[in-house]
Structure formats: C-alpha cells, structure tokens
Structure 1
Amino acid sequence: MDIMQDITPKSPEEIELLNTEYLPRRTVPHMQDYFDAAAARSAEARTRLAGNLDIPYGDTALQRLDIFPAGQPGAPVFVFIHGGYWRALDKSFYSDIAETFVAAGATVVLPNYDLCPAVSIPDIMAEMRTALAWVHANIAAYNGDAGKIYLCGHSAGGHLTGMMMATDWAAMGLPRDLLKGAAPLSGLFDIEPHRHTELQADIRLTAEDAAANSPQNLTLYADCPVICAVGGGESASFHRQSKEFAEKCRAAGLPADYLETGNDNHFEITERLLKPDDPLTLALLKLMGL
C-alpha cells in the first residue's frame, strides 16, 4: 500500500499499516509518560499562573475553557486546542504551555470539548465554533484583544484548527477575519483514513461526515498567515498531511510555512512550546507580533 496516497484499505495488512501510520501509541514507547509529565508540569504551572478555570462557553460539563490573562490589556489571544483523537485528553494537560505565552505577553485560552463516542466529530467542530465565538465576545475582560485571535491545535486539535479556518465566520455574524493566524501542529486535514483504523469504534465516522469535515477538501475562509508544523520523527502520513495542507493554504493565497521539528515524535513537538527560545515557539510568537 502506498502511504503517500489516500486509499481505502482492503486487506488486514493495509488496515494494520494505517493503524501504524496514524496511531502514535504504535510507534512511541512509553506514551503515557508524556501525559503524566505534562499533567504534573501543568499542575505546577497553575499554582504560578493567575488563571480563570472551567469557564462555561456552552451547556455541557466539558464545554469549558481555561483563561490565563496577559498582564496588560489589548494582548493577542493564543487559543490552543488539545488533541487526543477527538476521544481523549483534557485542557488541564496544557497549562504549562500557557505559562510560556503569558510570559511573552499573550492571553491564553485552553478550551475543552465533548469527546467521542458520546458526541460526533461534527459535534466537536460545532463546539469549537461556539468556543471561538465566546472568546471573541468576552476576551476583553481577560486583557485579550478580540481583534487579535490566533489559533493553534495539536493532532485532532490541528484538525479542528483547520476546520475553523474553513468556517464562514461572517455567516455567523462575526468578522470574516476572526482568525489572525493559525498554527496546526501534527494536524489531520483529511480524516477519511481514520474511518479505517481502530479509532472508528469511537469516532464512528461516515464517509459523508469525513468528507464534510476534512479541511483539505473544503474552501478556506481564513485570510491569515499559517504555520503547519510536524515532528520530524512522525510517520510519513503525518508529514504528507501537513505538507498538503500548507500547499492548499498557499494555493488559497495565504502565507503558509511548513516546519519539521527535529526528530520529534508526536508528543515531543508540543513540549517545544515550553521553551521561549525554541524555533517553533519563536515562530508562533512572531506570528502574534510578540
């Protein structure tokens, strides 16, 4: 099977290859250690940060967000969407990232969302639209500038970042250029392959929903610079997806950079955001004018 092409797997061997390509737990030893370390770092960060935790933007228990305000009003707003393949993880794992960006002068927003299989991927996408609309309406109370919203997401969060770029915000009564910059990290822009992996038991994607929620296939309404980054040690499929989305952005007239970060695996790339002088962190800060 050619992993550089979108295919419908027909044999157990092809399905197994897709699982290996797209499920980092197959290739990253001691994956849980990354989550445990992030949880511990983030708990410590919350003792140092002036945070506003579990603010509701919707009706369910998981439609909540954490906000860590900048020290001064009018700050750029860095919204970071966690990954977990739409079925796992939590915003609380990423408070450590907030510490880096608050120190640089940004207000940081970490949204949660309901998880599969309790909801569908289209449901999650709608929740993120609601979350960003809430941020636009309310972020001034947390020293953020609603005209300076920058969106970043990792893995499934990268997919959701792409979907927010494919959202017609003007149709929702919001500024068409709601997003002033976007940075999907290890993103998933064509989610059709995931219907054929072990994930399908939880995400339960139809072919129609996969097509309608794959930003690689959709019109991009965003008019902003983009950074598509992927760990240098990630699978060929992750590299291909980020490269092709960066190319799509450029074809739409958006300034788009494609970055490979060292030999990083799927989880190490987000650890770069803990370091103020890391090239990826510096690129994100430059994107926000910091």
Structure 2
Amino acid sequence: MTEIIDWDAAFENGAHIPDGSAYPAAWQARALEYRTQATARLDLPYGTGPRERFDLFLPDTAPKGLCVFVHGGYWKAFDKTTWSHLAHGAVARGWAMALPSYTLAPEAGLPEMTGQIARAISAARAEVPGPVRLAGHSAGGHLVARMLCSDMPDVARQAVSISGLHDLRPLLYTRMNDILQLTDQTACNESPALLTPRDGTRLTAWVGGHERPEFLRQSALIREAWPHTKLVVDGALHHFNVIAALEDPDSPLTNAMIQDAP
C-alpha cells in the first residue's frame, strides 16, 4: 500500500474538480426544490438515534418496488436532505425511493454504520412491497456493497456502487483516519473487495472516467473480486457530477439501478 506516497491526495476530489466547492450548495438547492413538489414521507424512524431516519419519496401510483440511495461524504459529512433530488429518476419510473441518514464518524464507526443501513433498508421494505434496488455514492457505494456481503442480513440482492470505496486499507494512511478511526482489522472487515458476496447478488460498479485514479482502481478491484459484477466507466464525468444522472428517469445509470441485471 506504500507505492502511492500521498494517500490524502489520492482521495481528494474537490481540489481536482473545477468549481468543486460550489457543488454542495447546488445539491442542497436542488434537493430542497424537489422536496417541495414531491410526494414524500419525511423523517421516518428506523431506530432511536437522532440520525436514524429516512425520507421516502413515492410515485403517483402503487410503487413497482423500492430503491434506496445511500449518500457519501467519507462517512463523516452530509445527510439525507442534500440528495432528495436524486429520487426523481426512480420515482418517475414508478419506484419508491428511500434516502436514509446514518450516524457519522467519529461518533460512529463503520461497523455501526453498516448495521444502521441494513436496518434502514429493512424499515423501508416494510413500507414498500416488491423488489429492492440499492444505489450509493462514494462512501455510500461502500455501504450498499456491504449490504450484499454474506456476513450481512439479506436485505437486498442488487446494487449500484457509484464511485464506491471497496478496499478501505489505504485510508489507514490518510489524515481523515483521525476521524474515521479505522484499525487494520476494521479496514479489512469492512472492505467489500476482501469479503464474500452473498449467492445470487449482482453489483454494478459505476465510476466517472475523469475521477481520481484511486476511485477508478477501487471500482475495477471490486469487478475483479466479485462474480456477477459489471464495471461501467462513465465518459468524462467526475466524482461530483457522475451521480446527477439519477435525476433522469431514462439515463443508463437509472436503468442500471432498477433493472433486473447489472
């Protein structure tokens, strides 16, 4: 793991994206706009913790099934309210979409977060019958991939990990680990690429073609490590705009999330 000297730079996205600092405010504005006009049930509990809540966005007719989107932020930033607009594509196709928050580092470690996401999906499934599809971005990509691992409750069998992190060991060499507090054991135990997927699961690893080399490596790695996994390198997109296609009901990314094959 020492061939890359500066692991902090390897995981730094904003500094390498034009106007990268403007994206969070734009996401929040789009999310607020969508919440004001969508059919939604907000702040549904899946536990007793203050962040153990999910928003559920619903189509006008009976849902075809449930999509769940898990947000990123390196397990230490953001919550569900920044990403509401990403429900539009699935909802326009007749699916419900749940967006959970989860307890962030350093208050929680990654094993606790993975347990929270499993409980959130189970709670959302109780509200919406039918098939379940998962998508997550960056750290959220890690969390949805973890849901497909054989050591987790069987809450879903299909997921799209968008710019996901699947091998956590390099994070041990970053300054952000002062917040994440990963150990050698935790990094291995929580790395999907080092774990066994449940039989019958399907994963799509989706990554922008202009992302940092480490994110391209992470997506290629899970493709090699897991059977029945498809790798999609999406054109000239970067880490902050690769998720925008979830707003489009007809985009290849939305199709990848809701269709029966990766």
> Which of the five TM-score ranges fits, normalised by the shorter chain?
over 0.9
Name the structure 1 match of 2:119.
130
Map of 2:46 onto structure 1: 57
The one-letter amino acid of 2:239's match is H
Aligned to 2:189: 212
RMSD: 1.9
Count of matched residue pairs: 262
Say yes or no: does 1:224 pair with 2:201.
yes
How far residue 222 of structure 1 moved from its aligned partner, in angstroms, is 5.0
Matching residue's letter, 2:241: E
Distance 1:241 1:192, change over 3 A: same
- For residue 261 of structure 1, what is the amino acid of its counterpart? D
Please name the residue that 2:250 is paired with: 277
- Give me the whole-angstrom Cα distance separating, in 1, the residues matched to 2:194 and 2:201: 18
Structure having the higher Rg = 1
Identity %: 32
Output the CA distance in 1 between the equivalents of 2:203 and 2:252: 15
CA contact (8 A) 1:179 1:222 kept: no
The question of 1:163 aligning with 2:146 is answered yes
Unaligned 5+ runs, structure 2: none
Task: List, as ranges, runs of 4+ consecutive aligned residues in structure 1 with deviation greater than 6 Å.
Answer: none
Q: Which amino acid aligns with 1:214?
A: S
From 205, 218, 240, the counterpart of 1:267: 240
**What code does the residue aligned with 1:53 have?**
L
TM-score for the superposition, normalised by structure 2:
0.93
Query: Deviations for 1:241-284, whole angstroms, at most 9, x for unmatched residues?
Result: 1112122222xxx2x22101111111110112122332222332
Contact 1:20 1:27 in 2 (8 A): no
Q: Compute the displacement of 1:22 (Å).
A: 1.1
Deviation, structure 1 residue 72: 2.8
Contact 1:158 1:184 in 2 (8 A): yes
Match for residue 14 of structure 2 among 25, 48, 52: 25
Instruction: Pick from 66, 69, 91 the counterpart of residue 80 of structure 1.
Output: 69
1:3 counterpart residue number: none
Provide the C-alpha distance between the structure 2 equivalents of 1:236 and 1:109, rounded to a whole number of angstroms. 31
| Helix, strand or coil at the partner of 1:182 | strand
Whether the aligned pair in 2 keeps the contact of 1:230 and 1:261 (CA below 8 Å) is yes
Change in 2 beyond 3 A, CA 1:270/1:181: same
**How far apart, CA to CA, are the structure 2 residues paired with 1:284 and 1:128?**
18
